[in-house]
Amino acid sequence: MSGTTKQAPRERVEIRRTGPEKYRWTCPEGHIAWDRTNNHIWCPTCRQQHEHGEDVDPEHYHVIDQKTGERVAWEDVEVVNP
C-alpha cells in the first residue's frame, strides 16, 4: 500500500538476540523466544499456551522493549545477527 501523503521514514529498531539484549525484547506476554515473520511476530511460547487452552494469541504485531516499556511495531523490528 503506497499512499500519496509523505511520511517520515520509519525508524528501524535493530534488535540483537544474543547476550543480555536477548532478554530486553519480548513478546507482549513477556516471552523472549519470538520470531519475526513476514507479517507478524510469532511466539512459540504463546502458541504452547494457546494449545493448552489459554486465551493467548501467538501472533503479535509488536514486541516490548523491557528497558523502556515501549512497543516496537513488527515492521520496525530488524533482527540483527552477530
Residues that bind Zn ion (CB under 5 A): 27, 29, 31, 43, 45-46
DSSP annotation string for 19-44 = GGGGGTEE-TTS-S--EE-SSSEE-H
> What minimum distance in Å lies between the beta carbon of 34 and Zn ion?
6
Residue number, 3 or 45, with CB nearest to Zn ion: 45
Pairing of strands 62-65, 71-73: antiparallel
In the bound state with Zn ion, the residue whose beta carbon lies nearer, of 1 and 21, is 21
CB of 78 to Zn ion, least distance (A): 20
- How far is Cα 40 from Cα 49, in angstroms, rounded to an integer? 18
Least gap, CB of 20 to Zn ion (angstroms) = 19
- Identify which of residues 29 and 65 has a Cβ nearer to Zn ion in the complex: 29
Strand bridging mode 59-60 / 41-42: antiparallel
Number of residue whose CB is nearest Zn ion: 43
